[in-house]
């Protein structure tokens, strides 16, 4: 199956980096695009936490610009600038998968018929591609790093990974 490009929001980069799995993105997707506004969000994050990822240092990241006109063409929403830029970029560049974790952002992307993957989906895809041997330890690690995850979703992810106990 051919790899598709991904346009990535802050959370995927942040949490996959915190569990030392950010390279899964380059292994799973043809290209990883990061809007400038997402880069700025991560820059701000480094002011609070110095180990926050700087995507500019990863050779496989493609920084992309998104015009205010493209963002303004989105349906009314209360999303952050990074999420809006990710959705707008994918909307004007068909064929990109949208990398988002925020529920409202995912819902807007889906209303626009954009394919969506989040941190948990990346971990599941990585296991299916034999890039990781188990999802559970990485799922536990991402939760330890502050990723909010309902217990029923945790169980669902483990079931999908054939790791339910």
Domain ranges of the chain: 6-119
- Please return the burial class of 31, using the count of CB atoms within 10 Å of its CB with bins 0-12, 13-18 and 19+: middle
Enter the pTM of the model: 0.94
Give the up-direction half-sphere exposure of residue 140: CA atoms within 13 A in the CB hemisphere. 4
Taking only the tens place, the pLDDT of each residue in 92-144 is 999 999 999 999 999 999 999 999 999 999 999 999 999 999 999 999 999 99
pLDDT tens per residue, range 24-67? 999 999 999 999 999 999 999 999 999 999 999 999 999 999 99
* Structure-token match 């018929």, residue found: 113
Q: What is the pLDDT of residue 150?
A: 93
Q: Which helix (H) or strand (E) holds 69?
A: helix 68-72
Q: What is the mean pLDDT of the chain?
A: 95
> DSSP letters along 30-61, please?
S-EEEEHHHHHHHHHHHHH-TTS--GGG-TTE
CATH 3.30.1180.20 fits 6-119, yes or no: no
**pLDDT reported for residue 164:** 82
């Amino acid at each position: 199956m051919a790899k598709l490009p991904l346009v990535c929001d802050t959370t995927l980069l942040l949490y996959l980096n915190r569990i030392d799995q950010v390279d899964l993105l380059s292994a799973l997707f043809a290209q990883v695009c990061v809007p400038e506004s997402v880069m700025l969000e991560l820059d701000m994050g480094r002011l609070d936490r110095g180990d926050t990822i700087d995507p500019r240092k990863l050779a496989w990241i493609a920084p992309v610009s998104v015009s205010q006109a493209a963002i303004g063409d989105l349906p009314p929403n209360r999303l952050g600038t990074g999420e809006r830029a990710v959705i707008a970029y994918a909307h004007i560049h068909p064929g990109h998968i949208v990398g988002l974790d925020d529920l409202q952002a995912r819902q807007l992307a889906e209303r626009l018929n954009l394919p969506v993957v989040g941190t948990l989906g990346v971990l599941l895809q990585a296991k299916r591609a034999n890039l990781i041997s188990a999802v559970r330890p990485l799922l536990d690690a991402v939760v330890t790093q502050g990723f909010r995850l309902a217990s029923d979703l945790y169980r669902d992810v483990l079931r999908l990974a054939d790791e339910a106990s």
